[in-house]
Amino acid sequence: MPLGIGAQGQAGIIKEASWGAGGTVNTYLELVSENVRSNIEMLEAPHVFGSRNIYKYYHGAHDIGGTFSMVVNPDNIGLLLYMALGVEGNPAQVAATTAYDHEFTPADMDTDLGSFALEIERGIDCSIYSGCTVNNFTLSASKGSLVMADFEIVGKAETDGVSAQSLSPSTKLPYNFHMGSVEIATVAAAYVNSFTMTYSNNIDVDGGFVLNASNNRAHAYKTIGSLTGTLECEWTSTSDALRDAYLDNTQKQIELIITSTETIEAGYYYTLSIDIPKAHVMGDPPAIGGRDRIPFSVGFEAVYDSTNFLKITHRDARTTKWSA
């Protein structure tokens, strides 16, 4: 009898033609960890039947959801950015090169989020989760680490015991922390040691369970959108501008640019750019805790901007939309 171990696992996704339609996965995810599952509501029989014991339990809602964490690289992040935000512009060719910029922005209330089927092979068994929608999306990295993406999802249904698809990891270099730079109001921010950014669709996770003759979620709709983040900085005369923004309650543009060392063609590189036009610095002001370095953790939250609440641009060699 084989022993299931995490090293045997793998995962992939495919954009669904319609919500909950499923499909054969075609985008490999460099999976690190996951806890996606069907959380089955157990309904206790309340009636008495001449015994001190519970009679039995019945199945209620089959609530598909959980999180997965993965390494970010040019071959997997494009499709998931569309899934997380909801809108992808037409690919824009960069000069006369083979490089193309793909812009992703949050969908308005009239535009539904896309959905995907997620396949997870766990060594002994393989499951497909259909109708998956991104609730929260986090990008993070720190000194000496790869750039990681965490997705919290909700879905429609689980099908287990399926045959795993044959997919292979990307041959592209993954993005890592040391490829990145941060700009505050277009000025490079020195001595940033780590970053975290979380975008949330605040999906109405309970509203999809309706009288539709099914245990499964009928749909998953987004509500308000929010974006928060942190920058772990060294306390310097340069980063003091962030403390001033906190004290003055002024909005700042924050841009994170991660440029791979791998070229699309000479002089043009795979790049992930995150532009937050208006963000309020929420703290914390630096304070002396001893004789060594003064820690300076900057929290921020994006606010309304008439052009873009958030714009993420991915430069790669793909000539068509990731969402196509």
pTM of the model: 0.93
Answer yes or no: are the C-beta atoms of 113 and 182 closer than 8 Å: no
Answer yes or no: are the C-beta atoms of 50 and 246 closer than 8 Å: no
pLDDT at 2 (0 to 100): 77
Distance, CA of 275 to chain centre: 16
pLDDT digits (tens, 9 = 90+) for 26-51: 999 999 999 999 999 999 999 999 99
pLDDT at 296 (0 to 100): 86
pLDDT at 1 (0 to 100): 57
The DSSP H or E segment spanning 241 is: helix 240-248
- pLDDT above 70 covers a percentage of the chain that reads 100
pLDDT band at 156 (very low <50, low <70, confident <90, very high): very high
Q: How far apart are CA 275 and CA 257, in angstroms?
A: 8
pLDDT at 314 (0 to 100): 98
Please check the confidence at residue 165 and state whether its pLDDT lies above 60. yes
pLDDT at 44 (0 to 100): 96
- Within 8 A by CB and 6+ apart from 41, the residues are 59, 60, 61, 62, 63
pLDDT digits (tens, 9 = 90+) for 168-203: 999 999 999 999 999 888 888 778 899 999 999 999
pLDDT at 284 (0 to 100): 73
Residue 298: HSE in the Cβ half-sphere, 13 Å Cα cutoff: 28
Q: How far apart are CA 158 and CA 104, in angstroms?
A: 29
pLDDT digits (tens, 9 = 90+) for 199-219: 999 999 998 899 889 999 998
Q: How far apart are CA 2 and CA 235, in angstroms?
A: 53
Structure tokens at 129: 């989760």
Assign 64 to helix, strand or coil.
Answer: strand
Q: 123 burial class (0-12, 13-18, 19+ CB within 10 angstroms)?
A: middle
Q: 148 burial class (0-12, 13-18, 19+ CB within 10 angstroms)?
A: buried
More confident residue, 167 or 195: 195
Answer yes or no: are the C-beta atoms of 188 and 181 closer than 8 Å: yes
Structure tokens at 105: 């922005």
Please check the confidence at residue 256 and state whether its pLDDT lies above 70. yes
pLDDT band at 240 (very low <50, low <70, confident <90, very high): confident
Q: How far apart are CA 205 and CA 222, in angstroms?
A: 9
Q: How far apart are CA 85 and CA 106, in angstroms?
A: 4
- Inter-CA distances, 188 with 79, 140, 194, 254, 280, Å: 29, 19, 15, 10, 18
pLDDT at 118 (0 to 100): 97
pLDDT digits (tens, 9 = 90+) for 55-111: 999 999 999 999 999 999 999 999 999 999 999 999 999 999 999 999 999 999 999
Residue reference for tokens 């921020």: 300
Assign 2 to helix, strand or coil.
Answer: coil
Average pLDDT over residues 277-286: 86
Nearest CA to 113 out of 210, 244, 20 is that of 20
Please check the confidence at residue 238 and state whether its pLDDT lies above 80. no
- Inter-CA distances, 8 with 29, 31, 33, 124, Å: 14, 11, 12, 9
Answer yes or no: are the C-beta atoms of 153 and 65 closer than 8 Å: yes
Summary mean pLDDT of the chain: 93
pLDDT at 287 (0 to 100): 85
Nearest CA to 157 out of 19, 7, 310 is that of 19
